[in-house]
Amino acid sequence: SVVKELVENAIDAGATAVSVRIENGGMRSITVIDNGCGIAREDCRNAFLRHATSKITSSDDLSRVLTLGFRGEALASIASVSRVTMTTRPSGAEVGTKLIIDNGTVVSEEDCSCVFGTTFVVEELFASVPARLKFLKSARTEAGYIGDYIGKMILARPEISFRYESDGKTVYETYGDNSLLNAVFCVYGAKIAIISLFVHAN
């Protein structure tokens, strides 16, 4: 769920490249790097405040939703049960911002040198909430869940370059060339890709 929220935020930010790295099934650390629009310094803390969002004002809006993010409390929820380090730099900014939040408490906020885009590092997930930690599966199973989600996003958004690493091993890596065939090859391998039949709807 943490990976899903962060990846979808990256896509909403206009990222064309998203990198996901995990250690020990994400329980030790989750890193999500994107080249999206970044976050302005004055908005960094606000992004972690609890707030509700809604893009639906009428039934007609259901066919016009253009973003993935519906739940405004996602970052607040993640930061309340882990140690989050966010570095971000919007296009045009001379420096970036580094914000560290430990289980809901802001530890530091300072200028930093970083590339355009946003990086989230989530560490010690649920370490302070043992009751929730015990509901996690094994590291291998959790890594599999994350891999399954990334695989689906690769197929859904072939125009975005994805990279997924688990414990230092590259699981998926795509070029983001908008080729569905290449996306299928990446996720399912050559044997499936060469026998795939593509159906185009008019």
Q: What is the pLDDT of residues 94-108, one digit of tens each?
A: 999 999 999 999 999
Tokens read off for 94? 């001379």
- Is 80 exceeded by the pLDDT of residue 116? yes
Amino acid 199: pLDDT: 83
Rounded to two decimals, the pTM is: 0.90
The conformation of residue 201, written as its DSSP 8-state character, comes to -
- Is 80 exceeded by the pLDDT of residue 92? yes
Supply φ then ψ for residue 44, to 5 degrees.
-60, -50
The conformation of residue 165, written as its DSSP 8-state character, comes to E
CA-nearest of 96, 116, 110, 120 to 37 is 116
Torsion of CA 14, 25, 182, 37, to 10 degrees: 10
Average of per-residue pLDDT across 52-79: 75
Q: How far apart are the first and last CA of the chain?
A: 35
DSSP characters over 11-26 = HHTT-SEEEEEEEGGG
In the chain the beta strands, taken as DSSP E runs, fall at: 17-23, 29-34, 83-89, 96-102, 105-112, 117-123, 161-166, 169-173
Supply φ then ψ for residue 49, to 5 degrees.
-80, 150
Per-residue pLDDT band at 28 (split at 50, 70, 90): very high
Per-residue pLDDT band at 70 (split at 50, 70, 90): low
What whole-number distance in Å separates Cα of residue 4 and Cα of residue 155? Answer: 15
Per-residue pLDDT band at 133 (split at 50, 70, 90): confident
Distances from the Cα of 23 to the Cα of 31, 135, 139, 195, angstroms: 9, 18, 9, 34
Per-residue pLDDT band at 69 (split at 50, 70, 90): low
What whole-number distance in Å separates Cα of residue 30 and Cα of residue 201? Answer: 38
